[in-house]
Amino acid sequence: MRRAIASLLHTLRCYPQRCLVSLLLLICALPALAQNGVDYATQTVRIALTGEPRNLNSIRATDQFSIFFLEHSMEGLLRRDAHFELVGGVAERWEMEGTTARFWLRHDALWSDGVAVTAQDFVFAWRQVVNPDVASEYASIMYPVKNAEAINQGKLPLEALGVTALDDYTLEVQLEAPTGYFLTLMSFMVYYPVREDFYLAQNGRYFADVKNMIFNGPFKITSWVHGASLRMEKNLTYWDAANITLNVIDIPYITNDSRARFNLLKEGKLAIENGLQGLEAEQLRDALANRMRIRSHSDGGLFYIEFNHRPERITHNMNLRKAMQAVLDSQELVYKAIGIAGYIPGQSLIPTYMNGVHDKFRVEYPVQMAPLDPVKAREYLALAKQELGIDKIPPIAILCDDREVAIVAAQYLQSLFKRTLDLDIKVDVQTFKLRLDKAHNGSFDMAVYAWAPDYDDPITFADLFASWNANNNGRYSNPVYDAYVRTVQGTDNQQIRMDAIGKIQQLVIDEAIILPLYERTANTVQDPRLEGVVFSQLGAGMSLTYARVVQ
Amino acid sequence: MSLVPSELSSKLSIAVSAADFAPAPHQAQRERIVRPSLSYWQDVWQRLCKNRRALSSLYIVIALLVFTLVGPWLWTQAPALQDLDAISQGPSWSSSSALVVEDPGTWPGVQGALRPREEADGQTLGATASLAVAGLPSTQYVRLYWEAVNGAQHYLIYRNDHAPESNQDLGLPLGATLTPDTLSFEDRLQLRPQTYWYSVIASDGFEEAALSTTAAITLQRAITASQARERGLDDTLGAAVALPAHPFGTDYLGRDLLARVMEGARVSLFIGIVAPLLFVSLGIIYGGIAGYFGGNLDILMMRVVDFVIALPFLLFMILFRIGFGIGPGESGIIPMLLALVLLSWPDTARLIRGQILQIRGEAYVQAARVLGAHPLYLIFRHLVPNTLGPILVTLTFAIPMAIFTEAFLSFIGMGVSPPTSSWGSLSNEGIRTMLSSPHELLFPAFFISLTVLAFNLLGDGLRDALDSRLRSRE
Amino acid sequence: MAMLRYLLKRLGVGLFTIWFIATATFTVMHLVPGNPLANERGTNATIRANLERQYGLDKPVFEQYLIYMSNMLHGDFGIAFSEENRSVNDIIREHFPVSATLGVLSLCFATVGGVLWGALAALYRNRLPDALIMFLVILGISVPSFVFAAFSQLFILKLNQWSGRSILPVAGWEGVSSMLMPALVLGLSTMAYMTRLMRSSMLDVANTDYLRTARAKGLSPTRIFFRHQLRNAILPVITVLGPAIAIITTGGFVVESVFAIPGLGRYFVQAVAQLDYTVIMGTTVFFGAFLVLMVIAVDILYGFIDPRIRLGAV
């Protein structure tokens, strides 16, 4: 041991510079480099994400993270303001009449390289969205535009799309049918402009990396280290830059470990957590114990049990479904088993936040719930057995993905149906893609499924079980239901539309087409110096565009 | 260093007579061998017993097996039984008593007349004048009602575990009323028998009022009449009934953790013991064939071993797990077992082949072969007994490895499929609630650690006991 | 010359092994029933067909295999399914250095710690320090890494709260300070194994003739300890470096996930859930190739260090 110390002293004596350098290195390395969640002087906020954007190309983007970045860095004809009201974006003025919409673009709307945003940029982008070779998954959102569906199926050329640039600053859109909610679509990403020359110059790598990006929105993406961090900075060429306070939105952490993220928040390294997905139960308890201000907002997701209505499946039998409906208490599921504050027990296909004619839809069209009644349930079950000609219902598979809440729900249902109806339920937990594949192929009896609204109109939920809807995984098919959906889609008279949706809401309950489980709520905590964050049920769910850091 | 026993033979010269060749008479009194003859295995056993650490691990292993196999008969709570009123409860040995109350959902709530905001501008939204509870506040439900506030569009209800310090500290946002004339709220969100501070705050649709009203409410443990009926308890309202105790606490669905750990033990130990048995046997057969026949067959077979060993183990475990797929209601034990066997046999095969090659070269085997011994005789008389020691050690060390692999895969969600539980999946579920209910992580993690520890120490002890080098030192 | 021939032979076998890994991965991958192109939203048949054509999934499996193999020969792992604009090569290039840094760091921890603690335990054989170290070793071997990871993060948090400043970051990957704890946690079990190995190896050496001779010569105990005992005892520890690299570089999933480290291991687990064919294949083949090379490297290193081992003999 003595020798070791002696040799150390020897090194110190002979190579003082080297020792000094290594000491300095050690000192530099030790203090944590991470910065604070909010900074007043530079108007910077830092947040964490649970995953990375999959594809930032607005033509093909699908995931929440991509939408989050696109909503901050791009702008469509219309946009959402600080109160989530629909206001003019690139379009200064607009006019809608029957199946024709006309938009007048503002002249000061510029791309981040200083070139003006023109009507041709919209025409190009929209044609690409429905281009079958591009294979955009959100192409169906474009279907209200004339010929969009036919083009998307390869039956018509791209030029047939009902959108024309009358001049550089005037855009005219022809619709398939009067569409009441068409204007609300204008702030959705597939309707964003794309500049043809820039797009083609990227050689298929449009928005693949920072150097392949061009923006017309309030922020610019200035750095993207894959899997690690992203950064947005204020876009000074944006026409309304004067009303944007934040300079930097920094995302230095990408991790799906909720505990790690919350620990960062407690350390003051994050401005808000978890703005996009909401806190999990454990982090909520932690926030409570630390006396943090907890805010909650509906994130739009409606969770329900989807039945497989294919004739060869046992769940095709309505009485069996109604038996399950009569014992399923969504309140017990939400309040006791899931236990996350703010979740709303599911009652209807149309969530509580959706708007009707003048008020909330659910206030105007209250749900007539099927009563909880175990005795009645057993009668339904006996009837089902009789109709199916069997003594015992064979095991029923319930498909769910491997997220915690889904597994909790599936296990709760398994226990519930066993206890009350003596049904054998087999839980089928699959990883994300396998679950989707099984759902699309119809290899399930029941599935825990979720739907989030694409636009601000109840039809985004109500048309789910139309026989032609590609998302109707259970292949429910009922001419009455289809007729209601056609009524809604064929007119822009709100009263007629909402009446039909009200009938759909009731039909879903009467025939137990699905069993609503809950409406998801996102609970967040944020730095008290951060103000003006806008939460919504649409798109990414959180906007920092009009946020600011106060002292 | 102990001494080698000295040779006992001595040289004596004796005169030989014919009588010496007569058969010896049957003597009752014969020389007795004082020390009993010890077979190799008896010797190993003795030395294992001298190793205190190894012996106590052996006891632990036996205790774990008893816990797994006999435990469910002694602790009769069903591992799948959900008690949603006892979610994530800490460990308790004594049973608790609860009051029987009427079922929830029977309360119509309180509707009030709509009170428009008075015309006077600049008047801010006030706090409600009163906040009260209807009926008995219990862990089944708390029924709050309050007085209307002028101009309120809806009301937000908060709940806290401690007295709020300010409007920034109201606690959990339980929800909001949908309409302005709803003046009541029924809270059922995971209630515990404790005091809660409820706050109600009015909102004009955009902003919350600056003032809130808070009431402290203490809850009593209760179960509903229908739950009592289902469990065969006294269901008269107001009766006190006893609820079962949970020595290890409960999990996120109120299931008894002791029962679940026992159930998980069966899965973990099953995989931990059966997988090594299978892949070690496979390895023995494979390595035995390669070693016994030698030549080109050996070279070819060992090449395959090299290939399989080169596969990144954990990556392939995960790949196999999704490759085999898990159907509805399947536990995922069989795919994991298969994957473990497919990837783990080469180590044993290599070891056995080496042993066989070595033993085959020993003089006594050569001699037996020259004497015309049947190959089967050679295998069972010489090769098998002599390789049994290393096999046993390999097996003992393979068990903790398999248990760890299972735990790791279940932990990242690629192991057994819910509702099947294993120690790994229990840990995975427990780690999410590590702060609020650490027992859900600690118990399964403790059992994993204990088992791995016991098998490792037992393996150490066995190796030492089997080691002939150490034997000669005694 | 013999050395070169040996090296070439090992590399040749290594290439063959990598081919085997690639084939095995491809086979398992295509056994999986799902479809990597499945999405939350249903799409029409034209679009599905177009997507499949873009990724070459419309071709027969064997043709896909040939295409994949020939691309791989050119060093091209294809384009990721889940991030449509990134090539798997880019993903590996960006994320592997992170995993490698973490792995090297934890390997350093493990080796230095293992040698140090093992030597100490042997030095104080059957006394208190030995008992203490061996107890910690047992703990390190028996407690699963996810438990360590979770508790160490909790520890950092409490430490920072208690001291009122950020001594170590809770998570993330910036600067050396954020690497310390994850590397320690990741290297813990390897360190425990190495400590055990080092201790028994030290005791073995203690019984050798040359050590007795050295003692008899009257050399100072410290000199015997460092020059004779430690140096010879380290040799067996090097043999486990190969497998240790394997365990550490591919076993980082948990640590990478808990500490929010953008490593390749975490990427792999995500890719499996996303059924991202190309990323899964690319990472597995890359890891496999890396391990094969590492094992060869360790063997050669061992040959240099221990002159008793002759490379040609294998």
Which CATH class for the B65-73+254-473 domain?
mainly alpha
* pLDDT surpassing 50 at residue A1: no
Tell me whether residues A32 and C177 touch, CB distance under 8 A. Answer: yes
Residue B71's pLDDT is 82
In a domain, A177, yes or no: yes
Mean pLDDT of A212-223: 94
Residues of A in contact with C43 (CB under 8 A): 135, 137, 139-140, 470
Instruction: Name the residue among C29, C146, C250 with its Cβ closest to that of B431.
Output: C146
Q: Looking at mean pLDDT, say which of A542-546, B171-175, B457-461 comes out highest.
A: A542-546
Tell me which of A15-19, A67-71, B391-395 is least confident.
A15-19
Instruction: Name the residue among C20, C150, C295 with its Cβ closest to that of B434.
Output: C150
What's the CA gap between C198 and C83, in Å, rounded?
Answer: 46
Question: Which sequence spans correspond to the domains of chain B?
Answer: 65-73+254-473, 101-224
Interface test with C, best of A2, A436, A455 (most C CBs within 10 A): A436
The verdict on A280 and A132 lying in the same domain is no
Write down the CATH superfamily of domain B101-224.
Immunoglobulins (2.60.40.10)
* pLDDT surpassing 50 at residue A284: yes
Residue B29's pLDDT is 63
Tell me whether residues C272 and B322 touch, CB distance under 8 A. Answer: yes
* Residues near B277 by beta carbon (within 8 Å), at least 6 away in sequence: B395
Instruction: Inform me whether the C-beta atom of residue A280 falls under 8 Å from chain B C-beta atoms.
Output: yes
* Residues near C238 by beta carbon (within 8 Å), at least 6 away in sequence: C298, C301, C302, C305
Mean pLDDT of A87-92: 93
Residue A517's pLDDT is 94
Helices (H), C41-176: 45-54, 61-73, 88-123, 128-142, 145-163
Beta strand B96-101 with B222-224 is parallel
Reference A501, options A345, A364, A306, A318; nearest CA is A364
Tell me which of A116-120, C34-38, C215-219, C221-225 is least confident.
C34-38
Q: What is the mean pLDDT of chain B?
A: 81
The verdict on A308 and A447 lying in the same domain is yes
In a domain, A30, yes or no: no
Which CATH class for the C94-276 domain?
mainly alpha
* pLDDT surpassing 70 at residue B65: yes
Residue B12's pLDDT is 54
Residue C120's pLDDT is 86
- When pLDDT is cut at 50, 70 and 90, the band that residue A171 belongs to is very high
Q: Tell me the HSE value of A285 on the side-chain side, using a 13 A CA sphere.
A: 14
- Helix C177-206 and helix C128-142: axis angle, to 10°? 120
What's the CA gap between B3 and B474, in Å, rounded?
Answer: 8
Output the CA torsion sign for A405, A407, A410, A415.
Answer: negative
Tell me which of A12-26, A42-56, B402-416, B419-433 is least confident.
A12-26
Amino acid present at A393: I
Tell me which of A21-35, B60-74, B197-211, B423-437 is least confident.
A21-35
Tell me whether residues C34 and A437 touch, CB distance under 8 A. Answer: yes
Q: For chain B, how big is the Rg over CA atoms in Å? A: 36
Q: Is A532 left (phi over 0), alpha (psi -120 to 50) or beta?
A: left
The verdict on A529 and A506 lying in the same domain is no
The string of pLDDT tens digits covering residues A99-109 is 999 999 999 99
Q: DSSP 3-state assignment of B411?
A: helix
In a domain, A463, yes or no: yes
What's the CA gap between B400 and B282, in Å, rounded?
Answer: 19
Tell me which of A8-22, A515-529, C226-240 is least confident.
A8-22
Residue identified by tokens 């240790």 is C244
Tell me whether residues C170 and A135 touch, CB distance under 8 A. Answer: no
Tell me which of A31-45, B117-131, C84-98 is least confident.
B117-131
Mean pLDDT of B386-406: 82
The string of pLDDT tens digits covering residues A60-70 is 888 889 999 99
What's the CA gap between C231 and C198, in Å, rounded?
Answer: 11
Tell me whether residues C86 and A227 touch, CB distance under 8 A. Answer: no
Tell me which of A194-208, A292-306, A405-419, B232-246 is least confident.
B232-246
Residue B409, φ and ψ in degrees, nearest 5 = -65, -45
Residue C313's pLDDT is 45
Mean pLDDT of B339-354: 86
The verdict on A406 and A470 lying in the same domain is yes
Residue C294's pLDDT is 81
CA-based nearest distance A147→chain B, Å: 41
Instruction: Inform me whether the C-beta atom of residue A431 falls under 8 Å from chain B C-beta atoms.
Output: yes
CA-based nearest distance A282→chain B, Å: 6
Instruction: Inform me whether the C-beta atom of residue B85 falls under 8 Å from chain A C-beta atoms.
Output: yes
Q: Which residue has the higher pLDDT, A514 or B313?
A: A514
Residue A477's pLDDT is 92
What CATH number does residue A289 fall under? 3.40.190.10
Tell me which of B154-168, B303-317, C108-122 is least confident.
B303-317
Determine the residue of chain B that is closest to A445 in CA distance.
B328
Determine the residue of chain B that is closest to A428 in CA distance.
B328
Establish whether domains B65-73+254-473 and B101-224 are of one fold. Answer: no
Mean pLDDT of B313-342: 83
Mean pLDDT of A209-233: 91
* pLDDT surpassing 60 at residue C265: yes
Residues of C in contact with A470 (CB under 8 A): 41-44
Q: Which residue has the higher pLDDT, A341 or B293?
A: A341
Both ends of chain B: CA-CA distance in Å? 7
Tell me whether residues C32 and B314 touch, CB distance under 8 A. Answer: no
Tell me whether residues C153 and A263 touch, CB distance under 8 A. Answer: yes
**How many inter-chain contacts (A to C, CB under 8 Å) are there?**
179
Residue C172's pLDDT is 67
The string of pLDDT tens digits covering residues B214-238 is 899 999 888 888 888 888 888 788 8
Residue identified by tokens 């290393």 is B390
Instruction: Name the residue among C82, C83, C177 with its Cβ closest to that of A31.
Output: C177
* Residues near A98 by beta carbon (within 8 Å), at least 6 away in sequence: A178
Residue B360, φ and ψ in degrees, nearest 5 = -60, -30
Residue B13's pLDDT is 60
Interface test with A, best of B420, B436, B440 (most A CBs within 10 A): B436
DSSP string, B152-198: -SEEEEEEESS--SSGGG--EEEEE-SSTTB-EEEE-SS--SSEEEE
Tell me whether residues C144 and B445 touch, CB distance under 8 A. Answer: yes
What CATH number does residue A461 fall under? 3.10.105.10
Q: Which residue has the higher pLDDT, B3 or B137?
A: B137
Tell me whether residues C43 and A205 touch, CB distance under 8 A. Answer: no
* pLDDT surpassing 80 at residue C238: no
Beta strand B240-243 with B195-203 is unpaired
Residue B136, φ and ψ in degrees, nearest 5 = -90, 125
In a domain, A280, yes or no: yes
Output the CA torsion sign for A469, A474, A475, A481.
Answer: negative
What's the CA gap between A175 and C23, in Å, rounded?
Answer: 52
Amino acid present at B358: Q
What's the CA gap between A103 and A96, in Å, rounded?
Answer: 9
* pLDDT surpassing 70 at residue C17: yes
**Beta-carbon count within 10 A of C11 CB:** 13
Contact C50, A132 (CB under 8 A): yes
Tell me whether residues A472 and C42 touch, CB distance under 8 A. Answer: yes
Residue B8's pLDDT is 45
Contact B331, B420 (CB under 8 A): yes
Mean pLDDT of B390-410: 83
CA-based nearest distance A279→chain B, Å: 12
Residues of B in contact with C28 (CB under 8 A): 316, 319-320, 323
The string of pLDDT tens digits covering residues A350-375 is 999 998 888 889 989 998 888 888 89
Question: Which sequence spans correspond to the domains of chain C?
Answer: 94-276
In the beta sheet, which residues pair with residue A307?
Answer: A446
The verdict on A431 and A511 lying in the same domain is yes
DSSP string, C215-268: HHHT--HHHIIIIIIIHHHHHHHHHTHHHHHHHHHHS-HHHHHHTT---HHHHH
Instruction: Name the residue among C17, C147, C246 with its Cβ closest to that of B445.
Output: C147
Prediction pTM value? 0.84
Tell me whether residues B412 and C253 touch, CB distance under 8 A. Answer: yes
What's the CA gap between A338 and B88, in Å, rounded?
Answer: 12
Tell me whether residues A436 and C34 touch, CB distance under 8 A. Answer: yes
Domain closes at, from A200, A227, A248: A200
* pLDDT surpassing 60 at residue B468: no
What's the CA gap between A339 and A58, in Å, rounded?
Answer: 37
Residue A175's pLDDT is 92
Residue C1's pLDDT is 64
Instruction: Inform me whether the C-beta atom of residue A284 falls under 8 Å from chain B C-beta atoms.
Output: yes
Before B419, cis peptide (omega within 30)? yes
Q: Is B236 left (phi over 0), alpha (psi -120 to 50) or beta?
A: beta
In a domain, A27, yes or no: no
Residue A413's pLDDT is 93
Q: Which helix (H) or strand (E) holds A261?
A: helix A258-266
Mean pLDDT of B44-63: 83
Tell me which of A267-281, B88-102, B106-120 is least confident.
B106-120
Mean pLDDT of A342-352: 91
The verdict on A168 and A275 lying in the same domain is no
Interface test with B, best of C92, C196, C272 (most B CBs within 10 A): C272
- When pLDDT is cut at 50, 70 and 90, the band that residue A233 belongs to is very high
Determine the residue of chain C that is closest to B446 in CA distance.
C143
Q: Which domain holds residue A309?
A: 299-521
Mean pLDDT of C276-303: 83
Residue A173's pLDDT is 94
How far apart, in Å, are the Cα atoms of C272 and each of A49, A444, B322, C36, C98?
20, 22, 8, 10, 20
DSSP string, A526-540: E-TTEE--EE-SSTT
Long-range contacts of A163-167 (CB under 8 A, 24+ apart): A163/A122, A163/A123, A163/A126, A163/A127, A164/A123, A165/A118, A165/A119, A165/A120, A165/A122, A165/A123, A166/A119, A167/A119
* Residues near B234 by beta carbon (within 8 Å), at least 6 away in sequence: B100, B228, B241
